[in-house]
Amino acid sequence: MMWGYYNAWSWLLMAAMMFLFWGGIATLIVLAVRAVTGPRASDEAMDILRRRLGSGEISEEEFEKTRTLLQR
């Protein structure tokens, strides 16, 4: 039997490796969920532009010009 084989540094190393392993698994799960669900943010600039067109702040020509600039 090898009773004295593991010392404090061995246990610390094993704990660190377990932390890295489970942290890596959690990171992969989060990245996979984000990849499947896609981006959540809406296009705020286009929403503001549409609102300004709807309220009459800008003309249709200005709307089209700005829209093409935003889509680049």
| pTM exceeds 0.85 for this model | no
8-50 pLDDT tens trace = 778 888 899 999 999 999 999 999 998 898 766 668 888 999 9
Q: Using H for helix, E for strand and C for coil, what is the string for the chain?
A: CCCCCCCHHHHHHHHHHHHHHHHHHHHHHHHHHHHHHCCCCCCHHHHHHHHHHHHCCCCHHHHHHHHHHHCC
